[in-house]
Structure 1
C-alpha cells in the first residue's frame, strides 16, 4: 500500500512528520485447525498491509484516526476501556497491555489505514495490533522483544476486541520473512523458515463473500471432539497432552471407545500435521507441484473428515482442480466461508480468473472477489524514501 495518504493525513491533522510503520496481513499455506491441538501451522506474511503513522503529542491522551472509516477518537491514557468504536479496540487494547506491563507510555497521535480486505481471513486485526505495538515500542524507545510484542497483540484481541484468537496471526505478521513461509510449532512457539520459491506459480485467493453462521458453534464442537479423542488415548498413554502426542496406532487403540465421528476428526488432525511436515520438505526441494498436492489433500480432509467446509468453498476447489495450470487449492481459515488459496501458473492466471467469476456467479448468484498476494517481510519501519 502507498503510505503517502497516511503520512499526509497525519501532518494535516496533527502536524509534524510521523514515524511510519507497515504491518502485514497473512495467509496460511497449510495446517488448519491444528493450532489448538498443539500442532504446526505454515503461515506467511503478505503484501496486503496496515500502515500506521505515529508521533508524540505531549498530552496525556492518544488521538486516533482511521483513514478507512474517516473517524477520529480521543482517549485519555488513564481511562482506557473497550470502546463502542469497534476499530479503536485493536489499538487501545495494545496500549492497555503495554501500560499494564509497566511500559512508560506518553500521549501520542496515530493515523492508520490499509489494503487488507476486511472479512477475507487475512488477519487485518492482527496486523493493526502488531503495527500498533511495534510503532509504540519504536516511538518511545521501549525496545520490546518481537515475541513479547506478539503476546501483547494477542492479549489485546482477547481483552478489548473480545476474540479468543490463537497466536498464529500475530506471529506471522511480526515474524514474516520475504520469500519464505514460517513453520510455527504451536506448542513451543519454535519456528523455522522455509523458502517459498514459487517460480512459474503465484498465489491467488478467491473470496466466496460468504460467512455461514455455523462457524463459531462448530469451531467449539470440533475442539470438544478433539479433546474427547485425547482423553480416550490418555487412558492408555498418560503422557498424552494433545493430539500432537498421538500416533495413528495410538488413536486406533482407542477406536472402540470413541464414536466414529470423533475418530474421523482426530484422524484429520494427525493427517494434517503430517501433510504440513511433508509440505515443508517439498518446499525445501523447490517442489511446488508436490506442495500443491498436499494442499488438495488438506482441503479434502477439511471437507470430508473435519467437515468445516461449505458448498461455496468446495465448488471453488473443485473448479480449480479442473483448470489448467493449477497445482493446488484449499480452503483457508476456520471454515464455512472465507477464501480459497490457489497455486496457479502465472501463464494461466488470466484464464483461471476469467472462468472462475462467471462460474461462481452462475452457481451461487454471488460476485466472486479475488486477490493476488506476494510474500513479504514482517512488521517494520518505513523509511522516508519508501513514501511516494
Structure 2
C-alpha cells in the first residue's frame, strides 16, 4: 500500500483525502458454461485482485492511471461525456461503470484514481469484473450513494454488456462483489438466489495453473456453444414445459434427448444438464466436508467439458492430465471459457512442491509451454480496505 500511495501522489499530487479499495479476482470451482443455460455456478473470490487508490474531485473530471499499463499514462475524461473509445483500452471498464451509475440517476463527482492489479493477465480470473467492482465500490463510497452490493454487481455487468459490448453473464461480477472469506457461493444464474458453502480444505490448497496459451478461440467458440444450446433447448421446448436446460434433471434429459435431432447439439445440451446437477451435488458434498468426492466431481466436470462441450483443447487437457497423474491431487479441471486460460486443482499441502515441479515438466514436454502456478486463498469480496493512516 505504501508504494501505491507514493505512486498516486507522484502522478496526481498531494492534496486531499486519499482512500483505498480492493476487489478480488475469482475462480469457478465447478459449474462451467452453465450460467447462460439457466444453471448453477460455484465460484469463489480470491486473495489476489485489483487495488484502487482514489481521491474525490470537486469538478466532473476523472483521471485514470494504471500501474499495470504505465506506458498509457493518465487518461482524462469528463464524467458527463462518457463514450467507449478504443484507445482508452482497459479504462473503458471503469468508464462504463461510471456511465451506468450516472444513467441510474445517481450524482457522481469527478475523481483521480490509480489502479494496480496482481491478477495474471489473460489467465481468465476475471480482471475486467474485478476493476468494475473496484470502481463501483469507490463511486459508492466517495459519493455516499448507499447502494447495496447486489445493485453494484448488476451495474457492473451492465457496464460490460452495454458500454464495453461484451455479452458476459453475471457470475464474475457476483462472485467478486458477494465473495466471502473461506467460502464459495452457489449461485442460481436465473434467479440470483445464492448460498455460501465453507471451503475447508484441511491439509490441502487451491492451486491455479495458467496454461500461458492466449485464448484466441474462446469468444467465437463461446458464441457457437451458446447457439448450439439454444437450438437444443428450442427442440426440447416443443415437447417439455421448460425455460432453460438448467430446469432438467439427468433422468428427464435422457428420456427426451432424442428430440434434439443434431448429435452435436445433443452433446452440448448433455453437458449443460449434467454439469448443473454436478454443481449442486458438489456444493452439498463440500458442505458435508467430503473433499474427496468434491474432487471426483471436478474431474468429471473436466471430462464433460472435454468430450461433450469440446472447449478444452491440447493445453488444458495436458495440464489437467498431468495433475491427475500426481500424488496428492484431490481433483483438477479447467476453469473459465476454455481454449486456454487456467486450471484449478486441489492439492495436498505436502505435495505442493512436487506437484508444481512435475506438472510443469510434463506439460512443457507435451506443449512446449511453461505454466505458471498460483497457490491462492479464498478472500472476501469487493470493499474499501483502509484509510491512508491505517495503510501506513
Shorter-normalised TM range: over 0.9
Q: Does 1:14 align with 2:16?
A: no
Contact persistence 2:215–2:341 (CA under 8 A): no
Q: Which residue of 2 aligns with 1:244?
A: 246
Aligned to 1:87, the other structure's residue is in SS state: helix
User: Conserved in 2, the CA contact under 8 Å of 1:233 and 1:250?
Assistant: no
My pick for the range that moved more, 70-79 or 121-130, is: 70-79
1:262 aligned residue: 265
- In the alignment, what sits opposite 1:27? 27
Match of residue 48 from structure 1: 48
Paired residue for 1:290, among 293, 303, 307? 293
Q: How much has 1:254 moved relative to structure 2?
A: 4.3
Equivalent residues of 2:157, 2:173 under 8 A apart: yes
- Aligned pairs (5 A) from 1:45-194: 45-70=45-70, 71-83=73-85, 84-194=87-197
Matched, 1:219 2:210: no
TM-score normalised per structure 1: 0.96
- CA RMSD between the two structures: 1.4
Q: Which moved more, 1:246-255 or 1:324-333?
A: 246-255
Whole-angstrom distance in 1 between the partners of 2:83 and 2:207: 39
* Post-superposition CA distance 1:113-156 (Å, at most 9, x none): 11011110100110100010111100110001111101111111
Q: Which moved more, 1:370-379 or 1:11-20?
A: 11-20
Specify the alignment match of 2:391 in structure 1: 387
What is the DSSP-based 3-state SS (H/G/I as helix, E as strand, rest coil) of the residue aligned with 1:193? Answer: strand
Structure 1 contact 11–18 (Cα < 8 Å) conserved: no
Whether 1:39 aligns to 2:42 is: no
Q: Which runs of 5+ in 2 are unaligned?
A: none
| 1:4 paired residue among 2, 5, 8 | 2
Cα distance in 2 for partners of 1:256, 1:89 equals 44
Give 1:6 shift.
1.9
Alignment TM-score, normalising by the size of structure 2: 0.95
How do 1:296-375 and structure 2 match up within 5 A? Answer: 296-375=299-378
Deviation of residue 386 (structure 1)? Answer: 5.5
Contact 1:324 1:348 in 2 (8 A): yes
Q: After superposition, give the CA deviation of every residue in 1:36-64 in whole Å (9 maximum; x if it has no partner).
A: 00100000000111111111121221111
State the shift of 1:246 in Å.
Answer: 2.2
| Whole-angstrom CA distance in 2 between matches of 1:306 and 1:107 | 45
**Aligned residue pairs, count:** 385
Where does the alignment leave 5 or more consecutive residues of structure 1 unmatched? none
Match of 2:380 in 1: 377
